[in-house]
Amino acid sequence: MTSFVVQPPPGTAWHELILSRLAERDAREKDAFTELFAAHAEARHLASTLESELSSLKGEHAQALKVAALAKEFGSPDSARRFAELEEQVHKLKDERSELYKTQGQNAQKLLELMEAVQKADGTVATLQDENQTLTAKLKTVSIGLRDAQELIREKDHVIQILRDELATHQLELVQREEQLTEREKKVKTLQEENTSLVDRWILLKQEQAARMNEANEYVEFALKSKATSPPLSRQHSLTEKIYDAGMAVSPSFLPQVATKKMSAHDAEINCIQLSPDGNLLATGGNDKRVILYDAYTGGMKSTLSGPLQSVMSIAFNSASELVMGTSNDNSAKIWNVSTGRLKHTLTGHIGKVFAAKFTDAGRVVSGSHDRTIKVWDLNKGFCADTIFTLSSCNDLCLLNGDGTIIASGHLDNNVRIWDTRSKQLIKEISGIHHGQITGVTMHPTQNAILTTSRDNTLKLIDLHSYQTIKTYS
């Protein structure tokens, strides 16, 4: 028997292939013999009919024999002719019956061959079903492996996206560094040209300071002599005259010796403290994730502000003392209404701890974070307006003007940076002033200098015109 190999179409499952092969087998081995079976049944029916007719003819033949015997006795020519015809029909019927028996035998032989072919096909089907089960099990195993591989690919794609984002950030930092380097190279020549003029100005300034110090010393000496020669008074007033230090007017400071009041409110360490601009409120923030407001005169607790999910790192009031802001290690800054104690804004966008934030007079907030960015927030719209990449974690910042367009920031890399928030450009990077990370930056009341604190246990007063250290406190 001729076998046909059918190639499975692409993407067809194994059970569909087996069903298609069974359909082809039926068309080849069953449908081809359907007519043969029908012909065989018809032949058997015809043989049965012929046997019935033969039996009838045999009866007629016997009757004809009797008639023939009688005819022979009487010698009728019609009877002899009729007898001959009957004899001829009997012979034909016998021949037809022989042919039918022969055809029936051939059909039986073919039927046996068909039964044998069907048995062989059933064996092939069983074999194909076993192969199908084996292949189905293998397909399930391969599908599980494919699913795991796809999940692994998705995880790798996520990691690759993160790495691409970091690479883009580093490339942006590199571009900023290159721009800063170009700007510094341009400024070096200018600075070299200004250096001679600055040295002359510095010498002249020192001479003026020496003259003022001599004048102050003479005034103090005169005051002491006058005090020694004058009679004692019932009440003496402290000396409040101003002395001059580094060309800036400052008042003498007196360290307190005894605490006048102790306030216990926080359940953990206190990280920051701030006095409101109107002097009526005192705010503290700590590791207990709370901001507490006190009456600055009585020391009584006024309200407790909650909301941060981690430690509060800095506190700031707006100029009208109506809003208070606390930054937190949960990467956000929160703003409350002082009078109601209700949370008004939550500024989210940093991806690192927010160490400092300040209100501007223009309805904005400037925040610095450990994620090496400074963000400018529009409180009227409630979203981040600008982002400045600082190249190093920002520990503190201060406003150099009321609207916050010029700011100074202290960083983990021991440097102070001056920024223009409108153009997001670095105005000046002051390096080499500290040997440890800078923890605080504060504006001098004269707005001509900033005071920095550092982990190297020193404070430095820096002139904002020359960017030179005026005085070091240790």
* Structural element, H or E, at residue 61: helix 34-74
* CA-wise closest residue to 350 among 372, 334, 381: 372
Whether residue 468 contacts residue 460, with contact meaning beta carbons closer than 8 Å, is answered with no
Q: Which of 122, 153, 184 is the last residue of a domain?
A: 153
134 and 281 assigned to the same domain: no
CA dist 375 and 387 (Å) reads: 5
Backbone angles phi, psi at 225, to 5 degrees: -65, -40
Asked whether the beta carbons of 241 and 249 are under 8 A apart, the reply is no
Residue 416: name the closest of 350, 365, 469, 367 by CA: 469
Q: What is the pLDDT along the chain (474 residues), one digit of tens a residue?
A: 444 444 555 545 777 888 888 887 777 777 667 777 777 778 778 778 877 877 787 777 777 777 666 666 655 567 667 777 888 888 888 888 888 888 888 888 888 888 888 888 888 888 888 888 899 899 999 999 999 999 999 989 988 998 888 888 888 888 888 888 888 888 888 878 887 777 777 777 777 767 766 666 666 666 666 656 654 433 333 333 333 344 444 445 566 777 778 888 888 999 999 999 998 999 999 999 999 999 988 888 999 999 999 999 999 999 999 999 999 999 999 999 999 999 999 999 999 999 999 999 989 999 999 999 999 999 988 889 999 999 899 999 999 998 999 999 999 999 999 999 999 999 999 999 999 999 999 999 888 999 999 999 999 999 999 999 999 998
Cα maximum dimension of the chain: 204
Look at residue 438 in the predicted model and tell me its pLDDT: 95
**What is the DSSP code (8-state) at residue 231?**
P
Same domain, 301 and 435: yes
Cα 327 to the chain's mean position, in Å? 24
Say how many Å lie between the first and final Cα of the chain, rounded. Answer: 108
Residue 64 and residue 83 in contact, taking contact as beta carbons nearer than 8 Å: yes
Alpha carbon 89 to chain centroid, angstroms:
101
Handedness of CA 353, 419, 323, 385 (dihedral sign): negative
Judge whether 297 and 261 are in contact, CB under 8 Å: no
What domain range includes position 272? 263-473
The structure tokens 């012929």 sit at 50
Please indicate, yes or no, if residue 305 is contained in any of the structural domains.
yes
- Residue 202 domain-assigned (yes or no): no
Q: What is the pLDDT of residue 332?
A: 93
Element (H, E) at 63: helix 34-74
Residue-level pLDDT at 274: 93
Within a domain: 274: yes
Q: For residues 474 and 457, is the Cβ–Cβ distance under 8 A?
A: yes
* Residue 20 domain-assigned (yes or no): yes
CATH number, domain with residue 289? 2.130.10.10
Sheet holding 383-389, edge to edge: 354-359, 364-369, 373-378, 383-389
Domain-located, residue 350: yes
Q: Are 382 and 400 in contact (CB under 8 A)?
A: no
Residue 187 pLDDT: 81
241's tokens: 């005259």
Residue 438: strand pairing partners: 454
Q: Which of 108, 129, 153 is the last residue of a domain?
A: 153
Number of domains in the chain: 2
349 domain-assigned = yes
Residue 354 lies in a domain: yes
In a domain, 242, yes or no: no
Which pLDDT does position 207 carry in this prediction?
72
- The C-alpha atoms of residue 114 and residue 108 are separated, in whole angstroms, by 10
Last residue of a domain, one of 88, 119, 153: 153
What does the alpha-carbon distance between residue 446 and residue 461 come to, in Å, rounded to a whole number? Answer: 12
pLDDT of residue 255: 67
Alpha-carbon distance 164 to 395, whole Å? 27
pLDDT computed for residue 203 by the predictor? 78
8 φ/ψ angles, rounded to the nearest 5 degrees: -70, 135
Provide the 10 A C-beta neighbour count for residue 385. Answer: 13
Block residue for tokens 């940093």: 350
The answer to whether the beta carbons of residues 365 and 347 sit under 8 Å apart is yes
Environment class of residue 351 by beta-carbon count within 10 Å: exposed (0-12), middle (13-18) or buried (19+)?
Answer: exposed
On whether both 404 and 279 belong to a single domain, the answer is: yes
What Rg, from alpha-carbon coordinates, does the chain have? 56
